[in-house]
Amino acid sequence: MATGGSQGKAAGYYQYPASYAAADEERRWWPWLVPTVLVACIAVFAAEMFVNDCLRHGSALGGGAGCVAAGLLRRFSFQPLRENPLFGPSSATLEKMGALNWAKVVHGHQGWRLISCIWLHAGLVHLVVNMLSLLFIGIRLEQQFGFVRIGVIYLISGFGGSVLSALFLRRNYISVGASGALFGLLGSMLSELIMNWTIYSNKAAAIITLLFIIAINMAIGILPHADNFAHIGGFASGFLLGFVLLARPQFGWMERSELPQTNQPPKYKLYQYVLWVAALLLLVVG
């Protein structure tokens, strides 16, 4: 790696001089897109519980099933755990607020549900797991690649997860959650890891983190109103988009003149990435 001054490459990752590290701390900008998405999802969940109003509408189970934490939360209390083990609203409330429903999308021409469902969550457990995962991986990705690219991946992956989910959903089943969009970020993180392999100083930690978050969210996917088809669709969308949008970290908080210089050619050509994506699509379709 050709460098100027004391800059060099060591132990398989890019190393910057001390002056760059100091400038990095001063110029690092706090990501705003990921925190905004987090606040929006929390606000939407609060709206879900407000509309749900378990004390007034009761439970679909009947039989005197009581609302959870009714004395403390009042109107915002949760449905009985036998109805919703994730501490959340009823299925009727989720459907009313825009949950993904195959019949309504196909026969009711309510295509907007493919987007609205990614802002809803089935319960408090679902929300907390998704938002912690989003913060854990989204902040780093937004810092490295900017809010535009990460925002595009998040929305398109969420849409892709909704489409695959709608294709495999049972007709009387509904689905909600940002998991498809979140898995899109995980998929893009994997493709970015593959392309920028030499930049990572601790590759094992990056892979373990990725697998750990995937495992937790796949486990959540077997619970009511969260489905793993959305996870798979979102992951595939994000993985493919990552090869296009995350080819190299942009170091947006640093001046362009301070970016490390290198005479090494790219490891792969653009057409090779295109061929990989085309091959993967053929495998999926086939």
Distance between CA atoms of 136 and 188, rounded to whole angstroms?
A: 14
Is residue 219's pLDDT more than 50? yes
| Rg of the chain, C-alpha, whole Å | 22
Angle (CA) 217 112 88, round 5°: 45
Distance between CA atoms of 221 and 228, rounded to whole angstroms?
A: 5
- The alpha carbon of 83 is separated from its chain's Cα centroid by a whole number of angstroms, namely 26
Contact yes or no for 102/168 (Cβ under 8 A): no
Q: What is the DSSP letter of 28?
A: P
The pTM of the full predicted model, rounded to 2 decimals, is: 0.75
The dihedral of CA 39, 40, 43, 48: what is its sign? negative
> Quick check: is 179 catalytic?
yes
What does the pLDDT read at residue 210?
Answer: 77
Region 215-221: what's the mean pLDDT?
73
Distance between CA atoms of 15 and 180, rounded to whole angstroms?
A: 35
Tell me what percent of the residues of the chain surpass a pLDDT of 70.
70
What does the pLDDT read at residue 1?
Answer: 39
Contact yes or no for 34/139 (Cβ under 8 A): yes
Distance between CA atoms of 75 and 97, rounded to whole angstroms?
A: 17
Q: Which residues contact 22 (CB under 8 A, 6 or more apart)?
A: none
* pLDDT digits 0-9 by tens, 83-122: 898 999 999 999 999 999 988 998 889 999 999 999 999 9
Distance between CA atoms of 130 and 124, rounded to whole angstroms?
A: 10
The one catalytic residue in 121, 126, 225, 231 is: 231
What does the pLDDT read at residue 78?
Answer: 95
Contact yes or no for 168/257 (Cβ under 8 A): no
Distance between CA atoms of 217 and 175, rounded to whole angstroms?
A: 14
What does the pLDDT read at residue 256?
Answer: 40
> Quick check: is 116 catalytic?
no
Token pair in block for residue 203: 């590759």
Q: What is the mean pLDDT of the chain?
A: 77
Instruction: Give the β-pairing of 100-101 and 8-10.
Output: unpaired
Instruction: Give the β-pairing of 174-175 and 100-101.
Output: antiparallel
Query: Strands, DSSP E only, in 113-206?
Result: 174-175
Domains of the chain: 29-58+65-248 (1.20.1540.10)
* Other Cβ atoms within 10 Å of 236 Cβ, number: 20
The one catalytic residue in 175, 179, 191, 237 is: 179
- Name the range with the highest mean pLDDT among 166-170, 190-194, 232-236, 255-259: 232-236
Cα 132 to Cα 202, 249, 268, distances in angstroms: 22, 23, 34
